[in-house]
Amino acid sequence: ELTDEKAYTGHTNSVWCAIATPEILVSGGADATLRIWDRATTNTIKVLDDHLDSVFCVDLSPSLMASGSWDCTCILWSVKDFKVKTRLEGHTDAVWRLQLEEEQGRLLTASWDGWCCLWDLNTVRILERYQGDVSILGAHLNNETNEIWALNREGVLFMWDTRQSSIVSTHAMQGCTRFCIADEYKSAFGHSDGSIKVYDARKFDTSKEGLVLASGLGDHVISLAPYNPNPKHGPSTLAAGYYDGTVALWSFC
């Protein structure tokens, strides 16, 4: 059962991203701030205003936090005191998505400039740059296969091998607007007609029709994220947001 646990009020404009731990909630917004909240009390612990424009994405690891912004930069923060460790500059447009992999010492950023960048967290330098032609809507780094998947706004899915810095394959995902890795076995793609299709993430084959989880519930999938990414603990669940304001949870095996 899901309940509307608490309301956290403080941003002065749209909230673009959020991530939670058992103790805190971190949110980023169009007011160019990140807010750190106490989940138990809903009080603001700290307001971070080091970005110069809207904050689009945020990710957490045990000791680091990363955020990406319309100011074309990514900031690495210390989770201990939420102070800036360093600012990463390398994109020429909004940093739309990122993935922090502290244990592997890597950070993946994806931007509206059409590039994905893989960063070394130790040197804070770009290891490799991968071109997706036009604005990137989503990206994922698989540490086991060393592949990067990136979806651009034209619905083209790129797959790169980070060991060889080469394209493994490209797939035309007609009408696709969002994607996520639902669990270790499945990838999910949201479409402009409101449908969500699930494919085998290990043997990706778009020539076969994906499992259609939903069709026609809402208009245009604009957000998609795993809710329970561990299939060992029950069916995988996807949280989907639609342009018409609908939010839905979908379970599948």
pLDDT in tens, the chain (253 residues): 455 567 889 999 988 888 888 899 999 999 999 999 998 899 999 999 999 999 999 999 999 999 999 999 999 999 999 999 999 999 999 999 999 999 999 999 999 999 999 999 999 999 999 998 889 988 999 888 888 989 888 888 888 998 887 788 888 888 887 777 766 677 888 888 888 888 877 766 666 666 776 655 567 787 777 765 555 555 677 777 787 767 677 776 6
For residues 39, 41, 45, 47, the Cα torsion angle rounded to the nearest 10 degrees is 80
Rounded Cα gap, residues 237 and 227, in angstroms = 5
Give the containing element (helix H, strand E) for 115: strand 115-120
Question: 231 — phi, psi (to 5°)?
Answer: -65, -15
Tokens of 209: 């029709």
Name the nearest CA neighbour of 102 among 121, 116, 81, 83.
Answer: 121
Residue 216 confidence (pLDDT): 58
Tokens of 228: 């329970």
Name the nearest CA neighbour of 68 among 45, 52, 85, 47.
Answer: 52
Query: H helices then E strands: how many in the chain?
Result: 0, 23
Residue 215 confidence (pLDDT): 56
Residue 177 confidence (pLDDT): 78
Residue 70 CB neighbours (<10 A): 19
Residue 208 confidence (pLDDT): 65
Question: What's the DSSP call for residue 178?
Answer: E
C-alpha radius of gyration, the chain, whole number: 18
- Provide the whole-model pTM: 0.84
Q: Report all structural domains of the chain as residue ranges with CATH numbers, in order of start.
A: 1-134 (2.130.10.10)
